[in-house]
Amino acid sequence: MAQDEPKTVEQLNEEADIAADYLEGLLDIADYDGDIEMGIRNHRPAVQIVADDDEDIKNLIGHNGEVVDALQQLTRLAVQQKTGERSHLIVDVDGYLKRKRQHLRDLAMDAVDDVKDNGEPVDLEAMNSFERKVVHDMVREEGFKSRSHGEEPNRYVTVYPKSNGESDDEDGVDDDDAFDGDAVEDRTVEDRLDHDRMDDDGAVDGDAADGAAGSDRDDAAADDADDDTERAE
């Protein structure tokens, strides 16, 4: 299949089914009780683990979402092994992605408020690429600019006042601050992964508002392109 050729609904459903079977097997091995919800949003398969036990949920999420990240990577590999094609599957646990995205947006707004009050740049804590992408998007929405600095894993975002007459394409938003090279699609999918049940047609029910919380996941395919952006300014 050509890289740019979109997958069919049948292929996406197949990926979701494979992912659900794989995750159910992992839950059985770990002796966790949980349901697997499946869906397709924006031409991307999405699965969510919903567990009743709070301790199980905590363990499945892990510190700063590390277990969710690992589950997603393992599940994508399991799907690829079965289909022979790379998967952009999204895995969530109990709405964690949505909650985390909101937390990141709150951090970004606090930084914007500080810049408004003081007129000076504000540095945020070190973040991975997805977290930085969420912050960049929020800062841009508020009419300010941001840029990433440093090297992984200590790369961080600085929020700046936006000069009068500065065009949006000079914002310095990092092209690398994405995962799988298409974080916009990932964001929209993750916005809909929450506690709500799935539609009968396989779509994920839930909060459709753009900008809900998401996770950070660093993907090996994310390009480190913000340096090129800065040189172009």
Q: pLDDT band for 220, please (50, 70, 90 cuts).
A: very low
Token reading at 91: 């895995």
pLDDT digits (tens, 9 = 90+) for 91-147: 999 999 889 999 999 999 999 999 999 999 999 999 988 899 999 999 999 999 999
Tally helices (H) and strands (E) across the chain. 7, 6
The domains of the chain are located at: 9-94, 98-179+219-232
The overall average pLDDT reported for the chain is: 77
Helix axes 183-190, 129-141, angle to 10 degrees: 80
Find out if CATH 3.30.300.20 is the number for domain 9-94: yes
Stretch 31-48: mean pLDDT: 90
Q: Can the peptide bond before residue 6 be classed as cis, meaning omega within 30 degrees of 0?
A: no
If you search the block for the tokens 């510190």, which residue do you land on?
A: 63
CA–CA distance, 134 with 174 (Å, rounded to integer): 11
Residue 46 has pLDDT above 90, yes or no: yes
CA–CA distance, 71 with 52 (Å, rounded to integer): 18
* DSSP symbol at 197: P
Cβ-contact 198, 156 below 8 angstroms: no
DSSP per-residue codes, 73-128: HHHHHHHHHHHSS----EEEETTHHHHHHHHHHHHHHHHHHHHHHH-S-EEEEE--
Decide the pairing of beta strands 90-93 and 44-51.
Answer: parallel
CA–CA distance, 75 with 79 (Å, rounded to integer): 6
Task: Quote the pLDDT of residue 182.
Answer: 36
Task: Quote the pLDDT of residue 177.
Answer: 53
Task: Quote the pLDDT of residue 3.
Answer: 55
Contacts of 117 (CB under 8 A, 6+ apart): none
pLDDT digits (tens, 9 = 90+) for 174-208: 545 544 333 433 444 444 444 343 443 333 333 33
Strands (DSSP E) contained in the chain are 34-41, 44-51, 90-93, 122-126, 145-149, 156-160
If you search the block for the tokens 């606090």, which residue do you land on?
A: 110
CA–CA distance, 126 with 47 (Å, rounded to integer): 28
CATH of range 98-179+219-232; options 3.40.50.720, 3.30.300.170, 3.30.1370.50, 3.30.200.20: 3.30.1370.50
